[in-house]
Structures are given as C-alpha cells and as structure tokens.
A = this chain, B = another copy of it.
Amino acid sequence: MADKKLVEAITSMEDDFAQWYTDVVKKADLMGYTSVKGCMVFKPAGYAIWELIQKQMDEMFKETGVQNVYLPMFIPESLLEKEKDHVEGFAPEVAWVTQGGLQPLQERMCVRPTSETLFCDFYKDDIQSYRDLPKVYNQWCSVVRWEKETRPFLRSREFLWQEGHTAHATAEEAEERTIQMLNLYAEFCEKVLAIPVIKGRKTDKEKFAGAEATYTIEALMHDGKALQSGTSHNFGDGFAKAFGIQYTDKDNKLKYVHQTSWGSTTRLIGAVIMVHGDNSGLVLPPRIAPVQVMIVPIQQKKEGVLDKAFELRDRLSKTEGLYGNLRVKVDDSEKSPGWKFSECEMRGIPVRVEIGPKDIENSQCVLVRRDNGEKITVSTDEIEEKVSELLGKMQKDMLERARAHRDEHTYTAKNMDEFEKLFSEKSGFVKAMWCGCQECEDRIKEKLAVTSRCLPFEQETISDKCVCCSKPAKSLVYWGRAY
C-alpha cells in the first residue's frame, strides 16, 4: 500500500476544500513558502505552467498589435498621487522604499502595485501627435500589494502578472480595445485553460480605482466560489487630464488621449487547480501541461522495456501537439510503477503511457487519461496519432465538464427569500435582477456575505423587480462568494 502514500497525504476536497487546495499545491510541488512573509517561491513545476500561459497569451496579444515594454518597478509618491481615486485605492496597500544605498531618499517611492501612473508619466512625453497613436503596450512583471491574508497563487504580497496599458485618439477606440482584450482573456481561458467564463461589467462599487468602467471575466471553482480571472478597464480621459497627456490631432487641435489597462495574473494557475483538480491531485489541461505524456515502463529491468519506452518518447517528442511538439518524459526511476502512477496523477500529467514486456510482445501499450481515468489499449505503431487525438479530446472534454459544472451550479433568485435560501443551501453563481442602487448592493453583501460578480454582457430578464428592494430592475447581476 506504500504506493498510495502520495494520494493519502492529501485531504479530500469534499472534507475541506481549502486544505485540499493547499495540499495539491504542495504535493504537486508547484509552490513553496519562504521566510519573506506573504511571498512565495514558484518551484519548477509551477513556474513551467506560468511560462506556457505567458507564451500562449503573449502570442495572442501580439496578433492584436500589442508591443511589450518594461517600465521601472518604483513609483515616486508624487506620481502615485496624481490621480485622486487611484491613489486612494492603492496607497493603503503598497510597500515603501525610503532608503537607497546608505542615504535616505528625498522622496519615498512605492514598489508598483500596478503601473498606470508610470505609463501615464511615460506617455505624457512619448505622445505628441495623432501619428503616435494608438500606443498598445504591455509588460510582464511582478507587482506588490501588502496583503494581510495570503494563499498560494490566489493572493500574495508579490505576484506575477501582465499589465497592458493603451492610449487612443478617441473614446470609441479605447472602449473597443477594452472589450477586445476582455474577449481575448475569455478566449484564452476557454481555449488554453479549459475554463469557461462569464464576461461582464463590474458595478461602480467593484470597479478599479480610477476607471470609468471595469470589465471582468468570472470563473466558477469546483467548490462553487467565484474567481475573478482577468479584468479590462476603460479610463476615459481621466488619467490623461490628471497627467496632461495630450496630442495634436489632424485638425491641429490639442486633445486628451483615452486610455485602457488590462491584466491577468498567476491566480489563473489557482483557477486551473480549483476548476479541474480532483482527489488524486492536480489535473492539467494538455495545452499548459509542462509534461503532457509520462511513459511508465512496467518491469523495466526486463530486456527491451526501457529501450522501447525511450523509443516511444523519441517518436512522440517529434509529433506536433496542441501547442508545439508533444512534451514527453519517461519515468525510469527506481520507484514502483504504482508509486509512479500516483505521482503522475498528483502532478496532473494528462496522459500516462504504460508499457511492459507483454505489451511489447503484442506491439501495444496502454494510455491512461488523467481527467477521467479511462484506459485505452492502442497499437504502438499508431501511438503518435492516438496520443495527439487523445490530448485534443481531453482539452475539449475538460472545458465541457467545467461548463456543465458551472451551469449546474448557476441558480436564479427572484426575491430575497429565494436568494437567502440559495446561498444557505447551495454554492455557486446566483443570477438576480438589480435596480442599480449601491444601497441594495451593500445590503445584499451585508446580509448574504456575497458580492456582485458582474453585469453579464448576455443579459436576461428573470423578473421586472430588483431582488432586494422590489423597485424596477435595470440589469441582471451574477452574485457569488469569491476568492
């Protein structure tokens, strides 16, 4: 039973979802704690997932004309203070540098919590004429927010992300880019992470500090909690006015630019864990699995077994997969096959290939799917096609399974009684009508301990009345408990 140790070491998700999450992060070797409070180490298995996310998202960005840049990590206090709402939102949670070398600084600087102010300061000089527009810049970096409670991938004092910052000649163009990037995030989540999302707009209460409008994609985790998975903000010309970012238009008039920003973070890895994982550990969608296929030789000391395993690896490694060539390894360690199976499962490796002396005799091998445990015996002659096909199928099935789970855990409420009953008995999204007043939003938050997730782009009319005050409803809102 030693083979089971790895799995037995994790809490079941039905018993304690939060502990299950922490166990998976630890046992799949994704992240480690450090002696820097609230900051974590991305270990190789965790960072390799981030690299695959980065590469694929960056390619999608570049197809839409995004250019990467890198701006400083420090923001002088006077710069942070230029836009009133923005500084109010961020000042309470930044880290301050007060000394450089052996000298105290004349002006303290914070470590960027986000870089709107730096980009504005840069654009103010870099943009002169309509010919300089649009600017569609992005940077991959880390940011710091002095959080009190931290959880691996979901919330930490330093985290990795990308932040796009654009400047446009017109309000229309800025709005178009804001929505374009939200759609890109949604497509990325579905296509690459196999996570379906709800696209919508945040209420004024929940929008980004300094934004005119914030759009969001919201995903539902296995435990029924929501996770904000990417946001896109339209700033209008608010920042441009605060920073004086003007351009001379074709008509020779001086005008303010219109700006946007959009970001997604390493919490996407947290979403992958909580949407796809199970009681055997991590389950990775093939597109972001650093190892997509693990070949486990059975009775590996028998002649020809390891040779065959490496031959299959070499052939598979030359086969085109969902993203680049297939990523394949052989586990030729001294561990027992059972232990190796558990380990593949814990680490979320999409396909395990079992090959032993008998299989070799019959020119076959066994493929085991991580997502549903299905075993398929295939001829080794056609292993390339079979594995490719299987990975493609898994990528699709995982999205459909997650979508079905989300739909099954999406409810509707017409009044406060239904609303309260749902959140006391169920866990998931609740759709309800809203009058548009912040009083109702606050009251719901206070009474049910849930927040408005978004006003979905796909509006429905469940009833004519606000779920809270019964006054005429303006919009449908998704509500939920959130990470």
| A158 pairs with B72, CB closer than 8 A | yes
Which B residues are CB-close (under 8 A) to A70?
Answer: 41-42, 47, 50, 142, 160
| A109 pairs with B68, CB closer than 8 A | no
* A76 touches which of B35, B67, B109, B142 (Cβ 8 Å): B35
| B137 pairs with A73, CB closer than 8 A | no
Closest partner residue, chain B, to A55 (CB atom): B55
Query: A146 and B100 in contact (CB under 8 A), knowing A70-B42, A111-B111, A158-B73?
Result: yes
Which B residues are CB-close (under 8 A) to A69?
Answer: 41-44, 47
| A93 pairs with B97, CB closer than 8 A | no
State the Cβ distance, A87 to closest chain B Cβ, in Å. 13
| A34 pairs with B68, CB closer than 8 A | no
State the Cβ distance, A342 to closest chain B Cβ, in Å. 17
* A99 touches which of B40, B51, B95 (Cβ 8 Å): B95
Closest partner residue, chain B, to A122 (CB atom): B41
Which B residues are CB-close (under 8 A) to A126?
Answer: 32
Q: Chain A: how many interface residues by the 8 Å CB criterion?
A: 51
Which B residues are CB-close (under 8 A) to A79?
Answer: 35
Is A404 at the interface (CB under 8 A from chain B)?
A: no
Query: A98 and B96 in contact (CB under 8 A), knowing A44-B67, A69-B42, A73-B142?
Result: yes
| B71 pairs with A118, CB closer than 8 A | no
| B94 pairs with A96, CB closer than 8 A | no
Is A75 at the interface (CB under 8 A from chain B)?
A: yes
State the Cβ distance, A330 to closest chain B Cβ, in Å. 15
State the Cβ distance, A139 to closest chain B Cβ, in Å. 8
* A36 touches which of B43, B48, B72, B94 (Cβ 8 Å): B72
Is A74 at the interface (CB under 8 A from chain B)?
A: yes
A residues 98-157 near B (Cβ < 8 Å) are: 98-102, 109, 111, 118, 121-122, 125-126, 137, 141-142, 144, 146, 157
A-B CB contact pairs (8 Å), 10 listed? A32-B125, A32-B126, A34-B71, A34-B118, A36-B72, A44-B137, A48-B67, A73-B73, A94-B101, A96-B100
**A contact set with B: CB distance below 8 Å:** 32, 34-36, 39-44, 47-48, 50-51, 67-76, 79, 92-102, 109, 111, 118, 121-122, 125-126, 137, 141-142, 144, 146, 157-158, 160
